[in-house]
C-alpha cells in the first residue's frame, strides 16, 4: 500500500537525461550530477532540500555527490540526505549513485584530517552511519596528503571496496603527477580508480595542462565541480551585484573584486551564449561537456529552477570552430 503523499518519481526521467560511461568502467553517470556542498546543511531549508533532490531525480540526475564535511556544520548534509533518502528514495536506492569523500578536517586532533588509514576508515564508517547506508557507490580521497605515503591512502580505498563499504573509489583535487601514481597503485591492488573530481570551468582550466590527457589515456572518468565559477558564469552579475549574492557577502570562495575584475569577460561570454540560444550558465556547462573525456558536470542548486535550467545544457554541447575561437579569445583577453 502506497503511503499518502509518498514521492513517486517521474516515469519519463530517463528520457530527459543523457549518460556517459565512466572511463573504462561499466558505470554510466548522468551528464549532470547534483552536488550537496551547499543548501543541504542543518541551517538550510529541509523542505527545499527534498524538493531539489526530487527535481534532480525527476530529470534523470541519478548521481548525488556528498562529502563528510558538507554542511554546515560538517556532517549535516549527509545526515539530512539520509533522512530524505529514507523518506523519498528508499525504493529507488538501486537507481542512485551516491558518493562521499574524506580528506579535509572533520574532527579535532591528529586523526580527523588528511589521508591516513585511521582517518579514512573512521570517516567512511561515520558517513555510512549518518546516511543510514550499507555502502556508498563511490568513495573519494578528497585531496592529496603529501605527508602520508600514497600507498597507505590508496591501500585504504582498496580496503573499503574489499570490505563492501564502497563499490568504486576515486580521487579529487590531485595534480597529474600524483594522480598517475595513485592510478598505478590502485590498478596493482586490483581496485582501479574509477573517477577523478577536479575543479574545472571556463575561468579555471588547469586540468587541460596534463590531467585531461592522463584521464583519457588511463581510462579514468572525470566529474568537474564549480562549472559556473561560484556563480560568475551566470547572468547573476550582468546588471550589478545583487545584495544577497555570494560575492557581496564575501564568501571564502568569491568576493566583489573578483567579480568586478571578470565582469567584462562575463558580459562578452553572455553575448556568445545568447547567439547560441543559451543562458550563460547553460553555455558554461555545455562548454565542459563538449569534451568526451568528461563524464559528468557537478552542479549545485538552491532552487529547482536552477536545476531545470542546467538540464537544458545537455541538448547543445557542440561548438563551432568560430564559437570556440570567440570563447578562447574572451577568456585569454
**pLDDT one-digit tens code per residue, 1-54:** 345 579 999 999 999 999 999 999 999 999 999 999 999 999 999 999 999 999
Of 319, 98, 294, the C-alpha closest to 201 is 294
Of 148, 127, 222, the C-alpha closest to 183 is 222
For the entire predicted model, the pTM comes to 0.95
Q: Model confidence over 120-155: pLDDT tens digits? A: 999 999 999 999 999 999 999 999 999 999 999 999
Domain 13-231+281-314, architecture per CATH: Alpha-Beta Barrel (3.20)
Q: Which grid coordinates are listed for 168? A: 568504486
Please report which helix (H) or strand (E) contains residue 32, including its range: strand 32-35
Q: Which grid coordinates are listed for 145? A: 596528503
User: HSE on the CB side for 331, CA within 13 Å?
Assistant: 16
What is residue 29's predicted lDDT score, i.e. its pLDDT?
99
Q: Which grid coordinates are listed for 85? A: 533518502
Report the alpha-carbon distance of residue 117 to residue 171 in Å, rounded. 15
- Would you list the DSSP string of 128-195? HHHHT-S-EEEEEE-S--TTS-HHHHHHHHHHHHHTTSEEEEEEES--HHHHHHHHHHHHHHT----E
Q: Model confidence over 304-316: pLDDT tens digits? A: 999 999 999 999 9
Q: What is the domain partition of the chain in residue ranges?
A: 13-231+281-314
Amino acid at each position: 500500500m502506497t503511503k499518502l503523499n509518498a514521492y513517486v518519481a517521474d516515469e519519463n526521467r530517463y528520457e530527459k537525461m543523457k549518460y556517459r560511461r565512466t572511463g573504462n568502467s561499466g558505470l554510466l553517470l548522468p551528464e549532470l550530477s547534483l552536488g550537496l556542498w551547499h543548501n543541504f546543511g542543518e541551517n538550510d531549508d529541509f523542505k527545499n532540500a527534498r524538493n531539489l533532490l526530487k527535481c534532480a531525480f525527476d530529470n534523470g540526475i541519478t548521481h548525488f555527490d556528498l562529502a563528510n564535511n558538507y554542511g554546515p556544520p560538517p556532517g549535516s548534509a549527509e545526515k539530512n540526505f539520509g533522512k530524505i533518502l529514507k523518506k523519498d528514495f528508499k525504493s529507488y536506492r538501486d537507481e542512485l549513485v551516491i558518493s562521499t569523500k574524506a580528506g579535509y578536517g572533520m574532527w579535532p586532533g591528529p586523526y580527523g584530517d588528511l589521508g591516513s588509514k585511521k582517518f579514512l576508515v573512521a570517516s567512511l564508517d561515520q558517513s555510512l552511519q549518518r546516511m543510514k547506508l550499507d555502502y556508498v557507490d563511490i568513495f573519494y580521497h578528497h585531496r592529496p596528503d603529501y605527508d602520508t605515503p600514497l600507498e597507505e591512502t590508496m591501500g585504504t580505498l582498496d580496503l573499503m571496496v574489499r570490505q563492501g563499504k564502497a563499490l568504486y573509489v576515486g580521487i579529487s583535487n590531485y595534480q597529474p603527477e600524483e594522480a598517475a601514481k595513485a592510478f598505478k597503485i590502485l590498478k596493482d591492488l586490483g581496485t582501479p580508480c574509477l573517477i577523478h573530481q577536479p575543479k574545472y570551468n571556463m575561468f579555471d582550466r588547469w586540468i587541460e595542462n596534463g590531467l585531461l590527457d592522463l584521464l583519457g589515456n588511463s581510462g579514468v572518468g572525470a566529474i568537474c565541480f564549480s562549472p559556473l565559477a561560484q556563480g560568475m558564469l551566470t547572468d547573476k552579475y550582468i546588471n550589478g551585484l545583487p545584495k544577497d549574492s555570494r560575492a557581496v557577502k564575501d564568501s571564502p570562495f568569491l568576493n566583489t573584486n573578483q567579480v568586478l575584475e571578470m565582469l567584462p569577460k562575463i558580459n562578452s561570454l553572455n553575448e556568445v551564449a545568447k547567439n547560441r540560444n543559451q543562458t550563460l550558465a547553460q553555455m558554461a556547462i555545455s562548454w565542459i561537456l563538449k569534451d568526451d573525456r568528461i563524464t559528468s558536470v557537478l552542479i549545485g542548486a538552491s532552487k529547482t529552477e536552477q536545476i531545470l535550467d542546467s538540464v537544458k545544457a545537455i541538448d547543445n554541447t557542440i561548438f563551432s570552430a568560430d564559437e570556440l575561437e570567440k570563447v578562447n579569445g574572451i577568456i585569454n583577453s
